[in-house]
Structure 1
């Protein structure tokens, strides 16, 4: 596994106050507006189900909100069939022009005997090998942050 990347971060300064950015992120149904993979979200309070698509692959992600700190950070853990997959989150830092938003992803398939099963399911569901997921996520994060920025600017 030499060279495998287990976490990725991307940042973008958004010209909107942290409260506006946080409100958008905390409405998880809106993720389908920004993410290049998310096509639908079923919100169930502190848990939600995301439906994702990439080319001909479609998969579901069961998520649980783990950090909800208004104006500062929003994060959730993603599992598939009960197997830990990833943590996704957004840290918000006030700036003179608005908010520095740092989106992060942490691969949670690192440990345990079920790691290989989780990685195999990830390949089957998404078409992306675990070793290439970080690069795919980095590209997706850039798109997500640009789209989030555009929406927040309109709302501010």
Structure 2
């Protein structure tokens, strides 16, 4: 099987783009929807590029944390952040927000694995497997399933 370096999934939500953005651009809320993230500690209040946060994650009994820096924060349009481990780039995660008509919004979650492009990529891949139990070549599949769960949770929360 060839390793996947990017994954994205989308869902249409019966909510305005601004409301969808407010939900996904608050990293503290990710624990409400994600099957992997259980809590986020944000260093600051305003969600702007440069804001940093730490995500605490788990799969089964395995737990780890990630250091994140917001790279894009455009209200009603996009939110993204870069993940590092021991100062080594790991991934970019983000959301694109597009009007879908009739007052609804298409929300696309995307992920890009950065471990192919950086020094120390092999070390970070090994650490990823040790901490998460997921080998680097299986991460895309785990993320795709997690995205589906996350997007379904966001949709349910915003359509209540």
TM over 0.5: yes
Please give the secondary structure, in 2, of the residue aligned with 1:142.
helix
- Please say if residues 88 and 119 of structure 2, whose CA atoms lie closer than 8 Å, have aligned partners that are also in contact: no
Distance 1:47 1:20 in 2: 22
Q: Where do 5+ consecutive residues of structure 2 fail to align?
A: 45-50
2:135 is the counterpart of 1:129: yes
- Please say if residues 88 and 118 of structure 2, whose CA atoms lie closer than 8 Å, have aligned partners that are also in contact: no
Written as runs of structure 1 = structure 2, the 5 A alignment for 1:16-55 is 16-45=15-44, 46-55=51-60
Please give the secondary structure, in 2, of the residue aligned with 1:93.
strand
Written as runs of structure 1 = structure 2, the 5 A alignment for 1:89-100 is 89-97=94-102, 98-100=104-106
Cα deviation, 1:41-99, whole Å, max 9, x if unaligned, reads 00113110000000111000100000000000000001111111110000000011410
Count of residues paired in the alignment: 153
Distance 2:79 2:119 in 1: 29
In the superposition, the TM-score normalised over structure 1's length comes to 0.95
Distance 1:109 1:26 in 2: 24
2:84 is the counterpart of 1:79: yes
In the superposition, the TM-score normalised over structure 2's length comes to 0.93
Structure 1 runs (4+) greater than 4 angstroms displaced: none
Specify the alignment match of 1:56 in structure 2: 61
